[in-house]
Amino acid sequence: MNQEKALVWFRRDLRDHDHAALSAALAQADTVYCAFVFDTDILVALPTRRDRRVHFIRESLVELDAALRARGGGLIVLHGRAAAEIPALARSLGVTAVYANRDYEPAAKQRDGEVAGALEPAGIAFHTFKDQAIFDGNEVLTQAGNAFSVFTPYKNAWLKRLTTADYAEWPCQGRLAPGDGRGIPGLAEIGFATCDLEQLGIRPGMSGARALWDDFRQGRIERYGTLRDFPAVKGVSYLSVHLRFGTIGIRELVRAALLADDKTWLNELIWRDFYFMILDHFPHVVGHAFKPAYDAVVWDDWPDGLAAWQEGRTGYPIVDAAMRQLNHCGWMHNRLRMIVASFLSKDLGLDWRLGERYFAEQLNDFDLSANNGGWQWAASTGCDAQPYFRIFNPVTQSERFDPEGKFIRRYVPELAKVANKYIHAPWQMGRVEQESIGLVIGRDYPAPIVDHAAAREKTLARYAKFRN
C-alpha cells in the first residue's frame, strides 16, 4: 500500500459500503478522510428554506458519520461553495488525491472541472468513478459508435454488455481518518428549518433505505409488473429518494432484479441509466427539447391554468389527487407523474418546462435526468417519447388505474361520498345527486378546467407541423 493520504468527497452517495470512490481511495491510500459539503451554489437556489431534501440529507449524514466513526473515521462537513471548499480542505489535509463518484448533470460537471483545476497547481489529483449508474460514458453505444436515443435498442445493448463484474459490490475496507470533531451541523446552522419527514413516514439514511428495500424484495419485487401502475396499491419500492441520494447503491438493486422472475423492475433501473446517458451526452436537454424542432412549439400563456394544476383544482379528480399528493409529501406515483405531465402539456397546452420546474421544486427524489426525461417523454419533445397524438384521457386513466377511487378519495376528501360510478368524472352527476351528498360541482369541487375532447383537438393542431 502506498503511504498516501486521500480525501473522499461524498455527494449523492451517502453510504459507507459498496461505494466506488471510497473503495478506490481505501485501496490506494494509507489514510482516508471523508467530507461532505452543503454546497451554497445549490442551496441558495432553492425556493424555500424549509426543504425536505435538505433535511433528508442532513439526517442521512448523521447516520453516515456514525457508521464512519464506528470504523475509526468520521465526516468533515463544510458549508460553502464546494468548488472552493474541497480544494481548500484537500490542501489543508495534505492529501495527494481527491476521490469522488461521477455526476452527470451539466452544473455538476462544471463544478468538478473547477475543483480539478484548483487542485492541479497543488499537485493533487482528482479521480472520479462510476457509482450511480451501471454503465456510463461511452460504455454502451450503437454499432456506429454513437449514443443511443431510443430506449429498447439501448436496453438490449445494455443487457448484452452486462457481466457480473458490472454489479459486483465494491469492498470498502481500510483505514479511515477521524473527522474534525465538529459533527454534523444542525439545519439552522446552514439556514434551513426542519420538515415533516417523521410525520410523513420518511426515514432517511442507510437504515431507511434498508427497511424499504427489505420490504420490497420480500415478495413485492416479483409482482412489481402487475402492481406498479395502481397508486392505491402498495406495489412500488418507494426507494427513489434513497437512490437519488445514494443511501442505497444501484448494484445491489440490479443483482436482485436479475434474480426476480419478473424483469419489469430491472427495466425501470435500465431506464434510469438511459436518462443519465441522455443527460451526459445531450446536455442541451436542460432547458431545451431533445428534438430541436420542438423548441418552436407555441405554448399557451395561462397562469391561472398553471396555478390550478399546481394546487390540484383542475376538476379532474385523478390529476388533482396526484398533485395534492405531491404537495403534501413530496412524492408522486410514477403512473400519476405521466398522467399529470400529459395533462399539463396536452390538455392545458402549457410548456412542459413549467411542470418540470414545479416537480424540481417539490419532489423529494428530484433527479434532473429522470425528471427531464419523463417530462419530455410526456410532452413528445424528447428522445423515444410517446407520439404527439398519444394524449392520455384523464378519466379513462383514472378508471383503469384507480377503479374504485381509493386514491382519489384519500387526497381529494371532498369527493369522499361520490359513488364509484361518478368518482372519475363527478361533473356527470345530476344536480339532485350532487346536493344529496353535499357536493355541488363548481362550488365544493371545481368543474373541469378544460374539456378534454376539445383540448385534444387543439393539441393535435399544435403539434401537426412537427409531424415526423
pLDDT tens-digit map of 123-173? 999 999 999 999 999 999 999 999 999 999 999 999 999 999 999 999 999
On whether both 247 and 300 belong to a single domain, the answer is no
Report whether 412 contacts 312 (CB < 8 A). yes
Average pLDDT over every residue of 448-458: 97
Q: Going edge to edge, which strands form the sheet with 125-129?
A: 75-80, 31-39, 5-10, 97-101, 125-129
What does the block give as the cell for 198?
417523521
Last-in-domain residue among 102, 131, 160:
131
Residue 189 maps to a domain: no
What one-character DSSP code corresponds to residue 74?
A: -
Alpha helix segments (H runs only) across 389-445:
394-401, 406-411, 431-436
Report whether 276 contacts 104 (CB < 8 A). yes
Residue 22 maps to a domain: yes
On whether both 235 and 310 belong to a single domain, the answer is no
pTM: 0.96
C-alpha separations of 339 from 128, 396, 401 in Å:
37, 11, 11
On whether both 316 and 458 belong to a single domain, the answer is yes
On whether both 64 and 211 belong to a single domain, the answer is no
Q: Which residues contact 383 (CB under 8 A, 6 or more apart)?
A: 149, 150, 151, 278, 282, 290, 291, 373, 376
On whether both 457 and 392 belong to a single domain, the answer is yes
Query: For the domain that residue 115 is a member of, what is the CATH number?
Result: 3.40.50.620
What does the block give as the cell for 433?
345527486
Backbone angles phi, psi at 198, to 5 degrees: -65, -45
Ramachandran assignment for 191, one of left (phi > 0), alpha (psi -120 to 50 degrees), beta (any other): left
Catalytic site residues? 268, 271, 299, 334, 352, 375
Last-in-domain residue among 112, 131, 150:
131
On whether both 230 and 325 belong to a single domain, the answer is no
Pairing of β 125-129 and β 31-39: unpaired
Say how far apart CA 311 and CA 338 lie, in whole Å.
Answer: 17
pLDDT for 27 beyond 70: yes
Report whether 364 contacts 202 (CB < 8 A). yes
Report whether 115 contacts 98 (CB < 8 A). yes
Closest CA to 98 of 73, 62, 129: 129
Per-residue pLDDT of 173-227, as tens digits, reads 999 999 998 999 999 999 999 999 999 999 999 999 999 999 999 889 999 999 9
Say how far apart CA 3 and CA 8 lie, in whole Å.
Answer: 16
Domain count, the chain: 3
Per-residue pLDDT of 81-140, as tens digits, reads 999 999 999 999 999 999 999 999 999 999 999 999 999 999 999 999 999 999 999 999
Residue 74 maps to a domain: yes
On whether both 275 and 148 belong to a single domain, the answer is yes
Residue 178 maps to a domain: no
The per-residue pLDDT of the chain, averaged, comes to 96
Report whether 38 contacts 189 (CB < 8 A). no
What does the block give as the cell for 30?
494509507
pLDDT of residue 451: 98
On whether both 326 and 400 belong to a single domain, the answer is yes
On whether both 437 and 416 belong to a single domain, the answer is yes
Q: Which residues pair with 127 in a beta bridge?
A: 99
Q: Which residues contact 223 (CB under 8 A, 6 or more apart)?
A: 235, 262
Burial degree of 333 (CB within 10 A; 0-12, 13-18, 19+): buried
**Confidence tier at 314 by pLDDT (50, 70, 90):** very high
Per-residue pLDDT of 405-438, as tens digits, reads 999 999 999 999 999 999 999 999 999 999 999 9
Report whether 81 contacts 110 (CB < 8 A). no
Say how far apart CA 158 and CA 206 lie, in whole Å.
Answer: 28
pLDDT for 467 beyond 90: no
Residue 195 maps to a domain: no
Residue 246 maps to a domain: yes
On whether both 302 and 422 belong to a single domain, the answer is yes
On whether both 350 and 251 belong to a single domain, the answer is no
What does the block give as the cell for 385?
417519447
What does the block give as the cell for 271?
431506464
Domain limits for position 21: 5-131
Residue 64, H or E segment: helix 52-69
Residue 98 maps to a domain: yes
Residue 199 maps to a domain: no
Query: For the domain that residue 266 is a member of, what is the CATH number?
Result: 1.25.40.80
**Confidence tier at 468 by pLDDT (50, 70, 90):** low
pLDDT of residue 1: 44
Say how far apart CA 274 and CA 140 lie, in whole Å.
Answer: 10
On whether both 418 and 383 belong to a single domain, the answer is yes
Per-residue pLDDT of 360-395, as tens digits, reads 999 999 999 999 999 999 999 998 777 888 899 999
CA dihedral 382, 387, 388, 389 (to 10 degrees): -170
Q: Which residues pair with 98 in a beta bridge?
A: 7, 126
What does the block give as the cell for 63?
447516520
